[in-house]
Chains A and B, each alone.
Chain A
Amino acid sequence: MNKQKFTLLAGLCATALVTGFGNAALAQDKLEQILQRGKLIVGTGVGNPPWHFRDEKGDMAGFDVDVAKIVAKGLFGDDTKIEYVNQASDARIPNIVTDKVDITCQFMTVTAERAQQVNFTIPYYREGVGLMMAAGGKYKSRDEMKAAGAAVTVSVLQNVYAEEMVHYALPEAKVDQYESVDLMYQALNSGRADAAATDMSSLQWFMKQNPGKYVDGGYGWNPQTYSCAVKRGEQDYLNFVNIAFREALTGVEFATYSKSFEMWFGVKPPEPKVGFPEELR
């Protein structure tokens, strides 16, 4: 082998090595991969307002969708560069693990058990159970209902621990379990129940759709944290998403987050305090 040939071979090897490593590094870095693709693949559901559903025009809408848009805006400066993958609740984790989606935003409750399978982002909402009463009804707040004891009837969706759930807030109340959400609301409308108890976000959405007809009981319990989830082992990418969310909750994108929050839940989220960054206290 002459010297020229050897140099050429060595050069080829080196190139192959470098490009090979380069490709490997590229394949490993999810953030880079998404940026090159030019769109974010978001896993979420349809048909659960105010979280994720198709609006009258057939476009994806809801709070989960808006949260995903924050990430897309951070990536591309354009919140329309999203491909939605419609998935059932039980596909949320598998679709992340098998790389079918880059991120899942689908009212996913954070649990330590799930955190072994996926990486959770920082939370964007805290769900809980709330009480809703008819406006101008007998009781104005949870305290009044608590004082009234067994005279109060609460309608709930039939569920495991439905009675325990209500009795946590109203220990003596009678609990009527209905098999569908519309029957639960009907019970409240017809005065069969003094209050309806269900997910705070559903109540807020319902109150927003029917302004002036209902009042909030002013008490929430049974907290559960909602976060988006990404694949494990992509720390850089996770950091990026977390920064995008943090700045939406506390920084430059707060206006976007706040507008969306108010749109779906009818109330404004508390403003971040200017000055010392409170979350570091």
Chain B
Amino acid sequence: MGYSFQFGVIEANLDKFLQGLVLGLALAFAAIFIGTLIGLLCAFATMAKAQTPSRLVGIYVSAIRNTPLLVIILFVYFALPQLGIRLGKHESFVFSLAIYAGAYLTEVFRSGLAGVPRGVIDAGRAIGLTGFQLALCVISPIMWRNCLPALGTTFISLFKDTSLAAVIAIPELTYQARKLNTETFRVAEAWATASVLYLATCLLIAAGLRQLERRFPKF
């Protein structure tokens, strides 16, 4: 192995790496927030008695889940402007990741809903709760409890997906690592640093979510 490590160049550019990491986190946060709203809406829509919402959600989920995220990102960034829909660079990425997140989160929430015991719902009805009260006070807490572990996995996976923003020239962590790589040819150092930063961040998010799981009221 004729490669000698030189981390000096990483040290000199550490601020850029951290800026990239923060930008990635911000993008992930925005996309996950919107994605969660989409997911909740879609998951509850499948509970409706009517068939149409369920079918529409089914189409959305299978369309998005069977398309690579990179393709969605490139489509929204490059193709939509030609069709007359122009989002800013960051907005277009958040939009892409949000609809992608929405599809996965719909499935997560649906599985959480499926785990709500029939008897609890019937009991809620029996004491005269309205549909909305039932959803908010009885079904939701149990659903959240049920899907917390799966949510954690999905959130972490979505955060890692922000690395794809590098393709459309958004200066997040992967972009910064690639840039430093082409500028200095310190290939091992650049990617090792990016990996460690991703790993550390994901472990922190996972630990946080585990804490949340532990403190979440049990039923």
**A residues lining the B interface (CB < 8 Å):** 155, 158-161, 176-179, 183, 186-187, 189-192
Contact = CB atoms under 8 A, between A and B. Distances in A.
Given A183-B167, A191-B86, A192-B89, A177 B179 contact: yes
B82 A189 contact: yes
B16 interface: no
Interface in B154-206: 166-169, 175, 178-179, 182-183
Nearest to A178: B169
Contacts of B182: 158-160
Contact of B81 (A155, A158, A177, A190): A190
A176 B169 contact: yes
A215 B169 CA distance: 24
Contacts of A158: 178-179, 182
Pairs of residues from A and B, 7 with the lowest C-beta to C-beta distance, nearest first? A176-B169, A190-B78, A190-B81, A160-B183, A186-B78, A191-B81, A158-B182
Contacts of B179: 158, 177
Contact of A192 (B77, B167, B183): B77
Contact of B78 (A160, A177, A187): A187
Interface residues of B, number: 16
B71 to A, nearest CB: 13
A196 to B, nearest CB: 12
Contacts of B82: 189-191
A192 B78 contact: yes
A161 B183 CA distance: 8
A158 B168 CA distance: 12
Interface string B127-153: 000000000000000000000000000
Contact of A179 (B77, B81, B167, B183): B167
Contacts of A191: 81-82, 86
A161 B89 CA distance: 23
B59 interface: no
A179 B178 contact: yes
Interface of B: 77-79, 81-82, 86, 89, 166-169, 175, 178-179, 182-183
B78 A189 contact: yes
A192 B167 CA distance: 13
A191 B81 CA distance: 7
A179 B174 CA distance: 12
Contacts of A178: 167, 169
Contacts of B78: 186-187, 189-190, 192
B77 A190 contact: yes
A176 B78 CA distance: 14
A160 B179 CA distance: 8
A2 B38 CA distance: 115
A183 B175 CA distance: 15
A271 to B, nearest CB: 41
Nearest to A191: B81
Contacts of A159: 182
A155 B166 CA distance: 14
A171 to B, nearest CB: 20
Contacts of A183: 167
Contacts of A161: 183
A187 B78 CA distance: 7
Nearest to B181: A158
Nearest to A158: B182
Contacts of B175: 177
Nearest to B83: A190
A178 to B, nearest CB: 6
A90 to B, nearest CB: 15
B36 to A, nearest CB: 29
Contacts of A189: 78, 82
A185 to B, nearest CB: 10
7 contacts: A155-B169, A158-B178, A177-B169, A178-B169, A179-B167, A186-B78, A192-B168
Contact of B79 (A160, A179, A190): A190
Nearest to A161: B183
Nearest to A180: B167
A81 B179 CA distance: 45
Nearest to B86: A191
Contacts of B89: 176, 192
Nearest to B79: A190
A194 to B, nearest CB: 13
A275 B179 CA distance: 53
Contacts of B169: 155, 176-178, 187
A159 B167 CA distance: 14
A192 B168 CA distance: 10
Given A176-B169, A179-B167, A183-B167, A192 B81 contact: yes
